[in-house]
Amino acid sequence: MLELARQRLGDGAELRLAHLSSPLPFPDGAFDDVIACLVLHYLEDWTAPLAELRRVLALGGRLIVVVDHPTVNKLVYPDADYFATRKFSCEHTFSGQNAVLTYWHRPLHAMTAAFTEAGFRIAVISEPSPAPGASELFPDVLAKFPSGAFLCFLFFVLEAV
């Protein structure tokens, strides 16, 4: 994702990779915007990472979060308790190599509570449609959804308060 951002933004923006398992190497209030794309649903506890992301944001700054849509877990695992925060794993193939990824399912109310408890105001919750060109890349998947939209990801725009 950093390489794609560098291609799109050029040399005009400083981009860094950071790990949420330790304090971020930035001063308080250093950023106007932070993006956590497809990261949080790999973490069991969001308390410390969200506190750290809030710390590095300026007052009024935005945290843009993308997570797996919580209803997808219920569709894939119909017998699972939607309202329970629980660990699950799925096997995926990337460039011909199999990998088992472990996720943490959270119901929507647990996500929103974590955000507000960490000092954020929820400005936007969005269930976006696939990107232009997705139907060419995934014709079999998108053919099942006449509207062109399907539940996959949930986007949040959170404001630091």
- Mean pLDDT, range 16-38, rounded to an integer: 90
- Mean pLDDT, range 135-141, rounded to an integer: 79
pLDDT value at position 148?
A: 65
pLDDT value at position 139?
A: 80
pLDDT value at position 21?
A: 82
Would you call 79 exposed, middle or buried from its count of C-beta atoms within 10 A (0-12, 13-18, 19+)?
A: exposed
Per-residue pLDDT reduced to its tens digit, 64-111: 999 999 998 888 889 999 999 999 998 988 889 999 999 999 999 999
Q: Contact, 67 vs 154, CB < 8 A?
A: yes
SS (H, E, C) 123-159: EEEECCCCCCCHHHHCHHHHCCCCCCCCCCEEEEEEE
Per-residue pLDDT reduced to its tens digit, 29-71: 999 999 999 999 999 999 999 999 999 999 999 999 999 999 9
pLDDT at 130 over 90: no
Q: Contact, 53 vs 28, CB < 8 A?
A: no
pLDDT value at position 3?
A: 87
- CA dist 91 and 77 (Å) reads 14
- Mean pLDDT, range 127-134, rounded to an integer: 81
- CA dist 105 and 82 (Å) reads 8
CATH superfamily name and code, 28-68+109-160:
Vaccinia Virus protein VP39 (3.40.50.150)
pLDDT at 150 over 80: no
pLDDT value at position 13?
A: 83
Of the two residues 56 and 5, the one the predictor is more confident about is: 56
Confidence of residue 17 (pLDDT cuts 50, 70, 90): confident
Please name the residue ranges forming H helices in 10-157: 47-56, 70-76, 108-117, 134-137, 139-142
